Amino acid sequence: MLPYEAIVFDMDGVLADSEPVYFAAMRAVLAPLGHEVTDGHQRAIMGHSIEATWAYLRETFSLEGPLDGLVEAYDRELVQQLARITNPLPGVRELVAALRERNVPIAVASSSLPAWIEALLGGIGLAETFDALVSATMVAHPKPAPDIYVEAARRLGKAPERCIAIEDTPTGLTSAKAAGMLTVQVRSSSTAWPPQTEAAIVLESLREFDLRLVAGNK
């Protein structure tokens, strides 16, 4: 089956060490209400959609009534904080540049909202780099369902089984594997998970990515 024809990147924890920003934004919104968001809570929702995240927070903290105001405050806080991230994770710039040089199609498939994706990619200087950006808001079912990876492959004009997915969370790896992609787990973020069984390949950083996995046309 080698080489593969396209690569789809998750964003948070893969392109940038941004998961702590989500945690900080959650704390900023919920602390005034007397709720303490812990590392355990963060682990439980990493890689999930905004709907799943706030459903979890509603149940965990017994939040009552409409959550629109809290979600809007969270959204505003996140856009500001994500845009302040300027450094991608190790190997990201080099790998993306090498893939661009080889004309390998690349996409982002993230559970984040489109505005969050744009803010972070803009901050790290990769806003115009990818051939497709797919948010969980653009598909019927978020991760761990395969929809987002299937849609990313469609937008790149490739069959999912001809694509590599680079992920960091169990939720994302499950999604990509269900779509039929080769799953690569990268562990360079501060919130890195232990090696996961859903990953066909585990890397400590994207500096270790083997370009022989992909076909390219220079």
Question: Model confidence at 215, in pLDDT bands (50, 70, 90)?
Answer: confident
Question: Model confidence at 188, in pLDDT bands (50, 70, 90)?
Answer: very high
Contact 206, 98 (CB under 8 A): no
Place of tokens 């845009």: 83
* Ramachandran category for residue 120: left, alpha or beta (phi over 0 → left; psi -120 to 50 → alpha): alpha
Catalytic residues: 10
pLDDT, tens digit, 9 for 90 and up, residues 79-135: 999 999 999 999 999 999 999 999 999 999 999 999 999 999 999 999 999 999 999
* 203-209 long-range contacts, CB within 8 A, separation 24+: 205/89, 205/90, 205/91, 206/14, 206/89, 206/90, 206/91, 206/92, 206/94, 206/95, 206/166, 207/90, 207/91, 207/94, 207/95, 208/91, 209/91, 209/95, 209/166, 209/184
Of residues 146, 174, 214, the one with CA closest to residue 6: 214
The confidence score (pLDDT) of residue 10 equals: 98
Of residues 102, 136, 133, the one with CA closest to residue 4: 102
Contact 166, 210 (CB under 8 A): no
pLDDT, tens digit, 9 for 90 and up, residues 58-68: 899 999 888 88
Cis previous bond, 144, omega within 30 = yes
For residue 178, pLDDT over 60 is answered with: yes
Helix then strand then coil, % of the chain, to nearest 5: 45, 15, 40
Starting from the edge strand earliest in sequence, which strands make up the sheet with 182-186, in order?
A: 132-135, 106-110, 6-9, 163-167, 182-186, 201-203
For residue 217, pLDDT over 70 is answered with: no
Pairing of β 163-167 and β 132-135 = unpaired
For residue 206, pLDDT over 70 is answered with: yes
